[in-house]
Every structure is written in structure tokens, then in C-alpha cells.
Amino acid sequence: MKERLFILGKNFLKHELISNSIYIFIGSLIGNALAFLLNLFFARSLSYVDYGIFASLLSIITIASIPGGSISTILVRFSTEYYSKGQIDKLKNFYEKSLKFIFSFSFVVLVIFIIFSPLIKDFLHLDNIWYAVIVGLCVVAGYIQMLNSAFLQGLMKFSFISFVNVFSSFIKLMVGVMLVLLGFKTFGALDSIFFMYITIFVISFIPLRFIFTKRIESEARVPIREVLTYALPAFVTILAMASFTSIDVILVKHFFNPTLAGYYSGVSLIGKVILYFTATIPAVMFPLVIKRNATGKAFNGLFLFSVSLVLIPSLMITAFYYIFPEFVINLFLGGRSYLTMSPYVGLFGLFITLFSIVNIFVNFFLSVNKTIISFMVVGAAVLQIVLLWAYHSDFYQIITISIFVLTLLLIGLLFIFLKNFTSLVQIKKIYLFLIPQTPNKEL
């Protein structure tokens, strides 16, 4: 019995999803811990009003960076495919074209932020127009670093990605603490994000240098039509996904007074701890599924294994939030007036748990080019916005609306998966995958 358990444990750790996830998890855990400490420092050092401003601006950065997320998905997909097939010439050509596009796109985004900064100031009731301009610079820096980060993920350089997460988060922590202590308040918090992105972009060139040293013997044509066919639905899908966990913070900032908006931002921060623990799984799963699909290998077991690795810790953390909400608030936010939000901690954890599961389903479908799900995801995101705009009498109503919408979406995605990717034979294979008999057993 002990020998069998030892073999199962050994096989478990040797699985490519687990071994690579460990790299990313350790780096992300340390990086997220540093980021979380910085957020706690902001929550405790800034006033409720200033922290509410920072949280709402952070949501603007998240939403404005969504095109970068969709572009990143495209970069990962095609860089993984070219690298897996040994098409380095094509990989280099793809990087060069992507670099030109990113810089051009970033310039346009910065101009748009400058033009619309008065509208952002009025909508969020800000007292300084420069908040919007600094947010624009952060978004542009995020787009630029995203190029190298996406190629690292596509080339499956997971150990170096782990290092980048830790180092850049340390830079962000140092810069953020220093600037806030010097009295720059919300501006200092925003500047820390900018410096983190620049750090990522610079050091990520180290493992990518072989792309630039490769001499192209023949012109490698990038399949523009194939890229665009994938890019458009992927873009709107990722836009909708980011909206699920950002639009509530923005609308609360719009409809509620600044102090209550700060309270909601605090409980939102606590709920998103779940993402800190589970976000590494879809990040690793995505290129691995692409690689298996490109080389003709089965991938259902890998996906279901990923779902279980997200679902279990998410439910455990949510249960802890329900049982000990005041302890959690004291731990993460230092208590104070945030304790009035204790009835919502567990509920928000459930909201983020549902989002985490939906997120891994969406990543799976995009990795196998099932972009048809974009209609369903976008529809759910629009439904959430409409319902929140119409019904926002209190925080309970806001959170339950988000839970309701994500539940409907998850049911729809599960139906599509069961219809297109499962059979009795596949279920047997999945069982063998989850309980492997030899170290090299692969579904």
C-alpha cells in the first residue's frame, strides 16, 4: 500500500502540469505575497478615500489592459505552436511583427487616455486629472512587458517566469512603499505598477535572446488571416472575463459614497486571494494543451485535472471565509471599520470561486480554438452590467447578481464541454490519467 502511494505521489509530481505549476506557483506565491503585502500597506496607510481611488483606478488599468490580455493569448498560442514544431524562423518573424504592433498600439492607447482623461476624472469623481494620465502610462507599460511575458509562456520557460514574478514584485513593493511614505499617496501606488512592468520587460530578454541571434535563411510568413480569425473572438472573450471582477468595483465607486466604495474595495481584495492561489493553473495549462493539440495528443485529462486543482483550494478558502470572516478582515485589512463588511467576505469568496472555474473553462476552449464560446461569455458579461446598473441597493445585491450570472455561464460552458469533449471511452481514459500506473503514463 505504501509503495503504491509512493508511486502515485511520484507520478503526480512528475506530471508536466504539476511540475511546471510548482515553478509558477512558488514564484507567483512569493510574488503575490509581496503584492498582497503592498496592497495591505496601501489599505492601512492610505485613507479610505485614497484607497478607494486607487482601487477604482486599478480596475480601470485592469479593464484598459484587457486588449493586452487578448493579444497575449494570441501570442502564446502561436509562439507555442511554432516553438513546438521547431519553426524558429517563423517564431522570430512573428516576434518582430508583434513588437512593431505592440509599440504602435501602445502609442494609440496613451493618446486615447490623454484625450479622455477629463471624462475619467468626472466619472470616478476624482480631484486630479493627472490620475488618469498616470493610469494611461501604466497601461502602456503593461502592454509593452506583455510581449516578452507571452513569449516566455509560449516557450514554456516556467522557471524563469517564476523568477520574473518574484523580482518584479519586489521592485513594485520597494517603489510603492517608498513613494507612499514620501507623501505621494495614490500617485506613489500607481507609479509602483509602472516600474514593475518596465522591470519585467527588460529582464525577460535574457531567455529570449536566441530568437534575435537566429539567422533567418528564408522568409517566414505569418498567417495573418489565421491570427485574425482567432484574435477577434479571443479579444472579446477576455474583455468579458476581465469585466466580471472589475465592473463591480467601478460601479460601486460610481453609485456609492467614497467611504463605502473603499470598504467594498477592501472585501474585493480579500476575495481575490483565491485568484492568487489558483491563477497559476490555467497559465500553465494553456500552452500545454496547445502543445498537445498541435502534436495530436489527448488533452481532456489534463483539463479536468486542472479544474480539480482550481476547485479544491478555492472551496477550502471560501469555507474559511464563511466560518471566520472577522478574523480574515483583521488579518488582511487590520480590522477597523472594514469589520462592517464581515457578512460579505464568504459570499465574495463564492463569487471568485465561480469566476476561477469559469476562467479555466474559458482558457481551455481558447487553447483548442473553440472561440464560439465568445458569444456566451460576452452575453453573460453584458447581463452582469445591466443587472448591476439596474439593481444596486446594497452590497449583498451586487455580489449575488455576479454569482447568479457566473453560475449561468458555468452551466453553459459545462454543457458545451460534455457535448463536444467527453464519451464513455474518454471517461475511462480520464480515470487512468488521474490514477496513473507508470511514470510515463499520458492521456
Nearest to 280 by CA among 370, 162, 377, 197: 162
Using alpha carbons, list the distances in angstroms from residue 87 to 7, 82, 224.
37, 5, 16
Summarize pLDDT for 179-206 with one digit per residue, the tens: 888 888 888 888 888 989 998 998 988 8
Q: What integer pLDDT is reported at residue 215 of this predicted model?
A: 65
**Most confidently modeled range among 81-85, 233-237, 243-247, 312-316:** 312-316
Q: What integer pLDDT is reported at residue 83 of this predicted model?
A: 84
Q: Is 174 exposed, middle or buried (0-12, 13-18, 19+ CB in 10 A)?
A: middle
Torsion-angle region of residue 436: left (phi > 0), alpha (psi -120 to 50) or beta? beta
Using alpha carbons, list the distances in angstroms from residue 38 to 46, 69, 122, 169.
12, 23, 28, 9
Q: What integer pLDDT is reported at residue 7 of this predicted model?
A: 59
Summarize pLDDT for 266-307 with one digit per residue, the tens: 888 888 889 877 888 888 888 888 888 877 777 888 888 889
> In this structure, how many other beta carbons lie within 10 angstroms of the beta carbon of residue 229?
13
Least confident residue range of 147-161, 347-361, 404-418: 147-161
Cα–Cα distance between 99 and 104 in angstroms, integer?
Answer: 9
pLDDT at 100 over 70: yes
Q: What integer pLDDT is reported at residue 314 of this predicted model?
A: 94
pLDDT at 101 over 70: yes
Q: At what angle do helices 16-45 and 48-64 cross, to 10 degrees?
A: 140
Which residues, 6+ apart, have CB-to-CB distance to 158 below 8 Å?
A: 20, 23, 24, 284
Q: Say if CB 329 and CB 341 are below 8 A apart.
A: yes
All three cell numbers of 314:
478555492
Which residues, 6+ apart, have CB-to-CB distance to 234 below 8 Å?
A: 70, 73, 74, 366, 371, 374
Q: Say if CB 234 and CB 371 are below 8 A apart.
A: yes
pLDDT at 438 over 60: no
Summarize pLDDT for 371-392 with one digit per residue, the tens: 889 999 999 999 999 999 998 8
Q: What integer pLDDT is reported at residue 397 of this predicted model?
A: 93
What is the pTM (predicted TM-score) of this model?
Answer: 0.74
Summarize pLDDT for 11-42 with one digit per residue, the tens: 555 666 767 777 777 887 788 788 878 888 88
